[in-house]
Structure 1
Amino acid sequence: MTEPTHAEAHGGALGSRLNWLRAAVLGANDGIVSTAGIVVGVAGATDDRAALLTAGLAGLLAGSMSMATGEYVSVSTQRDSEKAALAMERRELKEQPEAELEELTDLLEERGLSRDVAREAAVQLTERDALKAHARVELGIDPDELANPWHAAWASFLAFTIGALLPLLAIVLPPAFVRLPVTVGSVLAALVLTGWSSARMGAAKPGRAVLRNVAGGALAMGVTYAAGTLLGAAGV
């Protein structure tokens, strides 16, 4: 039983790392698109560097804080649910150990083991750590690695901030006459990268993912630029 257990743990750890990487890429992508939409929209109304910097920073801070708060609340809810499920499992193991052993045997049998082997495995796993065995097999939870809301919040904050810095710097650093093309070009290039990365991590073909990502970002910038231009022309 040692090798399958090790392989399962290794696969679970790899899957967890891939999920974190995918979340980081998507967070950066959100930072790129939302901040680019803001600064390009403002650029449609004015070429004042201070106004562009103010709008970009406001969008970066608001977006990163929103992402961090939302991720903290979401993962905290998940962690609370996992703790409640573990508490219930712990109580059931104490009150009805035989029924829980039978349940674990059934679950292992459903995974392809013969009845006798499943029973022997269930007994050995229960003797080693009954709660951990039920948590992993029945609930799909690792009691030693519960979701951490603070880690998720900081990861989302950093990912969004890193993504948002690209359009912000692209719009305020170059001279006024090339700000817009530099920003649009750098944003679209970054969206190609994030679209390709997210597709590869999901084992999907990158072509469509890149096209969707670039098209969405271009549409966002086009809409906000048109709105900014109209508002600027109206003197709002």
Structure 2
Amino acid sequence: MKHTERHRTQRIGWLRAAVLGANDGIVSTASLVLGVAAAGADAQGILVAGVAGLVAGSMSMAAGEYISVSSQADTERADLARESRELIASPEGEQQELTAIYIERGLDPALASDVATQLMKHDALGAHARDELGISVSLAARPVQAALASASSFTVGAALPLLIVVLFPFASLMWAVSGSSLLFLALLGLLSAKAGGAPVIAATSRVTFWGALAMAMTAGVGALFGVSA
């Protein structure tokens, strides 16, 4: 019978980077725009600050994601190299270790030993990587993919508040940016929940709450220093 179940765990890597990038793009750029506007900048100054924030943020997201995921990939490679050496030095001991893992998961000793023996013959390193180290192909660290997903999604997210700055009159800019950004965040929470199979209300509520808090605090700081100036 054909296996028809749909699982979403293989999406975790790129989905996390994409949602994080888009969320940061919307929140940071909208907050920057509101802060600069509250400080008394004109429309051109607000737009320049927003574009600068988009470029800086996308590059920062790409660099940070690449570095962090590369560190994870380095750790995975080191663990696999050590496991490969152990398989060469002590194959019997590694088979016993794999057998113990399967016994702990609920198999009886005879069946666990048989499963470990067959998997060791088929792909010893793959079996130990998956069942001992928790490393699988679908969840393996991919630095370039994560960096590109994070940077591109940040750029898309940051472009949304900037589009509002261009389209709306200066007099209604703050309300338009804050309101539309909260709407964008709610839609992002909805899309990420649908893609990941998570509860929609919880995902939507948390992104809008933290986004609103960030924008309110940044606007407050801008107004404070603008008045002082």
Pair 1:220 & 2:217 matched: no
Output the amino acid matched with 2:103. Answer: E
Q: What is the correspondence of 1:164-179 to structure 2 with a 5 Å cutoff? A: 164-179=158-173
Aligned to 1:66: 60
- Residues 172 and 179 of structure 1 are in contact (CA less than 8 Å); yes or no, is this contact kept in structure 2? no
Summarize deviations over 1:5-34 as a string: whole Å, max 9, x none: x89xx85xx312144223312221111111
- Residues 12 and 139 of structure 2 are in contact (CA less than 8 Å); yes or no, is this contact kept in structure 1? no
Higher alpha-carbon deviation: 190-199 or 20-29? 190-199
Summarize deviations over 1:102-124 as a string: whole Å, max 9, x none: 11111112222221111111111
Counterpart pick for 2:187 among 185, 188, 193: 193
| C-alpha RMSD of matched pairs (Å) | 2.5
Question: In structure 2, what is the Cα distance between the partners aligned to 1:144 and 1:165?
Answer: 31
Q: TM-score, normalised by structure 1?
A: 0.86
Question: In structure 2, what is the Cα distance between the partners aligned to 1:227 and 1:146?
Answer: 41
SS of equivalent residue, structure 1 residue 147: coil
Aligned to 1:35: 29
Which sections of structure 1, spanning at least 5 residues, go unmatched?
A: none
SS of equivalent residue, structure 1 residue 222: helix
Aligned to 1:147: 141
Which sections of structure 2, spanning at least 5 residues, go unmatched?
A: none
Aligned to 1:87: 81
- Residues 47 and 176 of structure 1 are in contact (CA less than 8 Å); yes or no, is this contact kept in structure 2? no
Counterpart pick for 1:23 among 17, 22, 29: 17
SS of equivalent residue, structure 2 residue 186: helix
| Deviation, structure 1 residue 141 | 1.1
Counterpart pick for 1:114 among 82, 96, 108: 108
Question: In structure 1, what is the Cα distance between the partners aligned to 2:96 and 2:74?
Answer: 27
SS of equivalent residue, structure 2 residue 149: helix
- Residues 13 and 146 of structure 2 are in contact (CA less than 8 Å); yes or no, is this contact kept in structure 1? no
Question: In structure 2, what is the Cα distance between the partners aligned to 1:45 and 1:173?
Answer: 21
| Deviation, structure 1 residue 93 | 0.5
Percent identical among aligned pairs is 52
SS of equivalent residue, structure 1 residue 139: coil
- Residues 57 and 168 of structure 1 are in contact (CA less than 8 Å); yes or no, is this contact kept in structure 2? yes
| Deviation, structure 1 residue 219 | 2.4
